[in-house]
Chains A and B, each alone.
Chain A
Amino acid sequence: MPRRCSVCDHPERHSIDEALVSGAPYRGIAKRFGLSESAVYRHKSEHLPAHLLKAKEVEEAAQADDLLDQVRNLQTHALDILESAEKVGDLRTALAAISQARGNLELLGKLAGELDERPVVNVLVSAEWAAIRATIVEVLGPYPSEVSSAVSEALLELEAGQR
Chain B
Amino acid sequence: MGAAADLAMALDRVVFTREALGLEPDGWQARVLRWSGGRLLMNCCRQSGKSTTAAVLALHEVLYRPGCLVLLLSPSMRQSSELFRKVTNLLSRLETRPTLTEDNRLSLILQSGSRVVSLPSSEATVRFSGASLIIEDTGDLHAVDHGAALRFELGLLEGTGHGAERRLFGGTAVYPGQLLQRRSVLRGRGNAALVGTVSFVAGAAAVGVGHSGTAEQRHHDHRS
A137-B4 contact given A148-B11, A149-B12, CB 8 Å threshold: no
State in angstroms the CA–CA spacing of A98 and B5 once bound together. 44
State in angstroms the CA–CA spacing of A151 and B8 once bound together. 7
Residues in chain A near residue B65, CB distance under 8 A: 134, 137
A152-B15 contact given A130-B66, A134-B64, A134-B66, CB 8 Å threshold: yes
Query: Do B10 and A141 touch across chains, with their CB atoms under 8 A apart?
Result: no
Interface of B is mostly: helix
Instruction: Give 5 closest A-B pairs by Cβ, nearest first.
Output: A152-B12, A155-B8, A145-B34, A152-B8, A159-B4
- Determine whether B129 belongs to the interface, using a CB cutoff of 8 Å to chain A: no
Residues in chain B near residue A140, CB distance under 8 A: 11
Residues in chain B near residue A34, CB distance under 8 A: none
Residue of B nearest to A143 (CB): B36
Residues on A lying within 8 angstroms of B by beta carbon are 123-125, 129-131, 133-134, 136-137, 140-141, 144-145, 148-149, 151-153, 155-156, 158-159
Closest CB in chain B relative to A34 CB, distance in Å: 48
User: Number of contacting residues on B, CB 8 A?
Assistant: 23
State in angstroms the CA–CA spacing of A148 and B8 once bound together. 8
Query: Do B96 and A152 touch across chains, with their CB atoms under 8 A apart?
Result: no
State in angstroms the CA–CA spacing of A144 and B96 once bound together. 29
Which B167-184 residues sit within 8 Å CB-CB of chain A?
Answer: none
Which B1-35 residues sit within 8 Å CB-CB of chain A?
Answer: 1-12, 14-15, 19, 34-35
Residues in chain A near residue B6, CB distance under 8 A: 124, 129, 133
Residue of A nearest to B18 (CB): A156
Q: Which of B3, B36, B112 contacts A145 (CB 8 A)?
A: B36
Residues in chain B near residue A151, CB distance under 8 A: 8, 11
Determine which residue in A148, A155, A159 has the highest number of CB atoms from chain B within 10 A of its CB, and name it. A155
A136-B7 contact given A125-B96, A130-B66, A149-B12, CB 8 Å threshold: yes
Given A131-B66, A148-B12, A153-B8, 8 further pairs, Cβ under 8 A: A133-B7, A133-B64, A134-B65, A145-B35, A149-B15, A149-B34, A155-B4, A156-B19
Determine which residue in A124, A136, A153 has the highest number of CB atoms from chain B within 10 A of its CB, and name it. A124
Residues in chain B near residue A144, CB distance under 8 A: 36
Would you list 6 pairs from A and B whose C-beta atoms are within 8 A, ordered by A residue?
A: A130-B112, A131-B66, A136-B11, A152-B7, A155-B7, A156-B4
